[in-house]
Amino acid sequence: EAAVTQSPRSKVAVTGGKVTLSCHQTNNHDYMYWYRQDTGHGLRLIHYSYVADSTEKGDIPDGYKASRPSQENFSLILELASLSQTAVYFCASSDEAGGDTQYFGPGTRLLVL
Amino acid sequence: GEQVEQRPPHLSVREGDSAVITCTYTDPNSYYFFWYKQEPGASLQLLMKVFSSTEINEGQGFTVLLNKKDKRLSLNLTAAHPGDSAAYFCAVSLPRGYQNFYFGKGTSLTVIP
């Protein structure tokens, strides 16, 4: 079974602070994704990556950076956290883009005060 | 881009009744369709993946119908039980090579014992 882990599982951050969310997958998948989930909005794609050392913007990249130092690891970075970034963040991985199933991590609940 | 509308946002049924959740999409090139289940506080788990060439797909306790003419995807839980209480999300993707999944906003299902 696909294995995607995230850390931390929850975090409280202060406005203007830096936050790093980490994701690790053991699926040997090329594609990794970061989504945020807000009530009433479903999941929205922030950044994705299809190879180490390269990241791409998703639908809502403003205020977020991403880093893919290796095939297994994908980080989401909030350089200056804002109240509007309070959400649950999910990481996912897939073998290919498009039709391949995305496997999700457990999520990180971020509260920005 | 693709637009996915999911209805209803909230659904409450009695144990043993059926529950139907529907998604409509706009891009006729959409080819892969997914249903995910998210239990409270948990991650998204794949229920079923269907291809555009298959209209009826049966799982354990549910049926997924795809109507390509109407661009409509539905999840029908037959004889719902309390363990089905969760959020359900549809997702639509284009053929291989396209990065994005397009998610519906979700349906919160409550099954009353």
Look up residue B99 and give its two tokens. 């990065």
- Would you call A2 an interface residue with chain B, using a CB distance cutoff of 8 Å? no
The predicted structure's pLDDT at residue A1: 58
User: Which phi and psi angles does B92 have, rounded to 5°?
Assistant: -125, 140
Task: Look over chain B and give the mean of its residue pLDDT values, rounded to a whole number.
Answer: 89
Beta strands A108-112; A10-13: pairing state: parallel
Mean pLDDT, chain A, rounded, equals: 93
| A48 to chain B, closest Cα gap in Å | 8
pLDDT tens profile B53-97: 667 777 788 899 999 889 999 999 989 999 999 999 999 988 766
User: At B13, is the secondary structure helix, strand, or coil?
Assistant: strand
Nearest CA of chain A to the CA of B102: how many Å?
Answer: 8
Q: Which two tokens stand for residue B5?
A: 């509308």
Best interface-test mutation with A: which of B89, B99, B105, B107 has the largest number of A CBs within 10 A?
A: B99
- pLDDT of A2 above 60: no
Compute the count of residue pairs across chains A and B with CB atoms less than 8 Å apart: 61
Asked whether the beta carbons of B40 and B86 are under 8 A apart, the reply is yes
**pLDDT per residue as tens digits for the range A43-89:** 999 999 999 999 999 989 999 999 999 999 999 999 999 999 999 99
Interface check A74 vs B, CB under 8 A? no
DSSP A90-104: EEEEESSSTTSPPEE
Tell me the C-alpha distance between B100 and B92, whole Å. Answer: 9
Instruction: Band the pLDDT of B98: cuts 50, 70, 90.
Output: low
Nearest by Cα to B90 from B62, B110, B61 = B62
User: Residue B54: its pLDDT value, please?
Assistant: 65
CA-to-CA dists, residue A36 to A41, A91, A101, B61, angstroms = 9, 9, 18, 30
Instruction: Summarize pLDDT for B31-62 with one digit per residue, the tens.
Output: 889 999 999 888 899 999 888 666 777 778 88
For residues B59 and A78, give the distance between their C-alpha atoms in angstroms, rounded to a whole number. Answer: 40
B96 touches chain A (CB under 8 A): yes
For residue A92, the chain B residue with the least C-alpha distance is: B44
Instruction: Please give the average per-residue pLDDT across B91-109, as a whole number.
Output: 84
On whether any CB of chain B is under 8 Å from the CB of A57, the answer is no
Contact B44 A31 (CB under 8 A): no
